């Protein structure tokens, strides 16, 4: 079943077209990656799908209902959105920020419930925050802060999760941790749409990819169909080799040096 769909989306900033003719269907329970060069419209598309920008042309439906039909709190119980550069509320500590994820689930008068406590604890454990819980978020490294935001999104416990480059500041160990945690989310039935620059990570973890170029869909489908040399060369205006990872055979994308000065050439 399709959980989220977009039909004929067009979007401009100050009369300058940024997205044209975008239609997509995100199946329930899948991890869908959005890839593409800088400025191709990935974040803008994600913001529209998260109802963070007003859609002036086209239609977006979540669970077969127009996004515009949802109230703010109702939407926050269905959809969690992590922007590329979220603003850290002044003075907030790690545990408090993760607890924010539970706000949409609490009534105006209701108390903090056992379920709220469990969701926050599970999210902190999944993102390995035990040693950071009482630290101010503003004092953390970029990668540590990114894990705190992801824990907040996990605690929100929504059916749909939209993430804009959630691994960009992480070392490879934590990147893998986070991608595994995201993969576990989809294995437990959640649907995740994620903007990623790391094509190898995208190919390894995503069920399908959507490649954007200049605000349009250049390719869509399973990673092996999207990550091809002609498409990657064209999209990124570069020359790459695509190797296969030992084990799962996932594509590894290696850009070629333009004027390769090999050690043998240097010796002669
Ligand atoms: N608030 C804004 N006002 C005007 N133009 C904007 C705004 N936000 C983005 N743009 C422009 O829209 C285009 C698409 O930007 P967007 O951030 O969606 O691209 P992206 O694919 O996410 O890029 P990146 O990989 O660099 O994050 C760019 O040309 C950008 O300059």
Dihedral sign, Cα of residue 184, residue 185, residue 189, residue 195: negative
What is the residue with the minimal CA distance to atom 25 of ligand 1?
38
Q: What integer pLDDT is reported at residue 268 of this predicted model? A: 46
Cα distances (angstroms) measured from residue 1 to each of 4, 28, 62: 9, 6, 11
Mean pLDDT in runs of 10 for the chain (268 residues)? 96 95 96 97 97 94 96 94 91 95 79 89 92 94 90 95 92 88 89 95 95 97 94 94 88 83 54
* C-alpha torsion 9→15→18→22, nearest 10: 10
pTM score of the predicted model: 0.91
Q: What integer pLDDT is reported at residue 85 of this predicted model? A: 86
Q: What integer pLDDT is reported at residue 148 of this predicted model? A: 94
Cα distances (angstroms) measured from residue 227 to each of 4, 178, 186, 232: 24, 22, 22, 7
What is the residue with the minimal CA distance to atom 26 of ligand 1?
38
Q: Is the CB of 105 under 6 A from ligand 1?
A: no
Domain residue ranges of the chain, discontinuous segments joined by +: 2-222
ipTM of the complex: 0.98
What is the residue with the minimal CA distance to atom 10 of ligand 1?
13
Q: What integer pLDDT is reported at residue 262 of this predicted model? A: 57
The answer to whether 42 touches 219, Cβ cutoff 8 Å, is no
Q: How far is the CA of 40 from the centre of ligand 1 (A)?
A: 7
DSSP summary character for residue 107:
-
Mutate to test the pocket of ligand 1, among 14, 43, 213 (most ligand atoms within 8 A of CB): 43
- pLDDT tens column, 195-234: 999 999 999 999 999 999 999 999 999 999 999 999 999 9
User: Would you mind telling me the total number of residues written for the chain in this entry?
Assistant: 268
Q: What integer pLDDT is reported at residue 12 of this predicted model? A: 96
| Mean pLDDT, the chain, whole residue set | 91
Q: What integer pLDDT is reported at residue 261 of this predicted model? A: 58
Q: How far is the CA of 45 from the centre of ligand 1 (A)?
A: 10
* Architecture label for domain 2-222: 3-Layer(aba) Sandwich (3.40)
Q: What integer pLDDT is reported at residue 153 of this predicted model? A: 95
- pLDDT tens column, 50-80: 999 999 899 999 999 999 999 999 999 999 9
């Amino acid at each position: 079943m399709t959980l989220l769909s977009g039909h004929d989306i067009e979007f401009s900033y100050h009369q300058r077209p940024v997205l044209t003719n975008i239609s997509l269907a995100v199946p329930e329970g899948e991890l869908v990656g959005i890839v593409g060069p800088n400025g191709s419209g990935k974040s803008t598309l994600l913001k529209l799908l998260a109802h963070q920008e007003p859609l002036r042309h086209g239609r977006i439906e979540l669970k077969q209902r127009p996004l515009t039909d949802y109230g703010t709190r109702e939407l926050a119980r269905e959809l969690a959105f992590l922007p590329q550069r979220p603003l850290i509320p002044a003075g907030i500590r790690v545990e408090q920020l993760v607890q924010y994820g539970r706000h949409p689930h609490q009534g105006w008068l209701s108390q903090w419930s056992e379920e709220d406590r469990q969701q926050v604890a599970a999210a902190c454990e999944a993102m390995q925050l035990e040693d950071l819980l009482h630290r101010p978020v503003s004092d953390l490294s970029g990668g540590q802060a990114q894990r705190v935001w992801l824990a907040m999104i996990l605690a929100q416990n929504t059916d749909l999760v939209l993430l804009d480059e959630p691994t960009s500041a992480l070392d490879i160990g934590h990147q893998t941790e986070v991608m595994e945690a995201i993969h576990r989310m989809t294995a437990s039935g959640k649907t995740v749409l994620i903007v990623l620059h790391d094509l190898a990570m995208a190919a390894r973890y995503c069920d399908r990819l959507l490649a954007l170029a200049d605000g349009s869909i250049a390719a869509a489908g399973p990673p092996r169909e999207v990550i091809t040399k002609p498409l990657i060369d064209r999209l990124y205006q570069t020359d790459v080799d695509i190797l296969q990872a030992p084990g799962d055979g996932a594509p590894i994308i290696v850009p070629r040096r333009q004027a390769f000065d090999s050690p043998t050439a240097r010796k002669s």
